[in-house]
Structure 1
Amino acid sequence: MITLYGIKACDTCRRARKALEHKGLPFQVHDLRKDGLSTERLEHLLEHVPVMTLLNKRSTTWRALDDADKAKLDAHSARELMLANPTLIKRPLLDTGEDIRVGYRDGDYDDLDG
């Protein structure tokens, strides 16, 4: 089953969801703000995506973090920050079961089969 990770208020997440619906692909939505993020799910994502690629340094959540937390950033602290603040994860994330795609631009899902 395809899983689309995102947040409800994100315009790009909505466009990604519509693209999947348009292709008729079955998928489930995991709202990072509402559903949170378990250690197991994060580790699954990190098996496919480097930790610093997954961390969204352009997010409102990142800008609101304490400067000390940002200054001491490494792979371990990035994991901890994402677990504590799941909206730090770049979105949308599409887990196809075979790979994980970070972000969305029109046409990114054209190669997916339904």
Structure 2
Amino acid sequence: MILYGLKNCDTCRKAMKQLPEARLVDVRGEGVPTEVLTEALMRFGEKLVNTRSTTWRGLSEEERAGAPIDLLQQHPALMKRPLIKTDDALYLGWDKTTQASLTG
């Protein structure tokens, strides 16, 4: 299980605490592989881009209009976190549904 997020993100820390077997990939340092990003965009669409983030507010209107995959590759912190990849599924965020699915 791989958790894509930020090591200093509170939500990612909570998820890591409950998923000790998961490996954290810090998206600022390592990024998200293009195939995972593409799969996540197909599955979650626009929800993958965190439009409430400080990074989003710092973008110009022109930048915001860009393709989501390009935005996420240029600004990895724009991704809603965490993005969790298991052998057969992707999960976005750390809500009750995701927690129930992954922690039983």
Tell me how far 1:39 sits from its aligned partner.
Answer: 2.3
Higher-Rg structure is 1
- Aligned partners of 2:103, 2:19: CA distance in 1, in Å? 10
Q: Please list every run of 5 or more consecutive structure 1 residues that lacks an aligned counterpart in the other structure.
A: none
Tell me how far 1:32 sits from its aligned partner.
Answer: 0.6
Letter in 1 for 2:40: L
Of the three residues 39, 45, 48, the one matched with 2:40 is: 45
After TM superposition, the score normalised by the length of structure 2 is 0.84
Tell me how far 1:107 sits from its aligned partner.
Answer: 7.1
Mapping of 1:54-69 within 5 angstroms?
54-69=48-63
Query: Which deviations, in whole Å up to 9, do the C-alpha atoms of 1:83-104 show, x marking residues without a partner?
Result: 1111111001111222111111
Match of residue 79 from structure 1: 69
Secondary structure at the residue paired with 2:39?
Answer: helix
CA RMSD of superposed structures (Å): 2.1
Tell me how far 1:106 sits from its aligned partner.
Answer: 5.5
Tell me how far 1:108 sits from its aligned partner.
Answer: 3.5
Aligned length: 104
Match of residue 14 from structure 2: 15
Q: Please list every run of 5 or more consecutive structure 2 residues that lacks an aligned counterpart in the other structure.
A: none
Q: Percent identity?
A: 38
Secondary structure at the residue paired with 1:45?
Answer: helix
Conserved in 2, the CA contact under 8 Å of 1:5 and 1:91?
Answer: yes
Conserved in 2, the CA contact under 8 Å of 1:55 and 1:78?
Answer: yes
The answer to whether 1:29 aligns with 2:24 is yes
Q: 1:57 to 1:113 in 2, by over 3 A?
A: closer
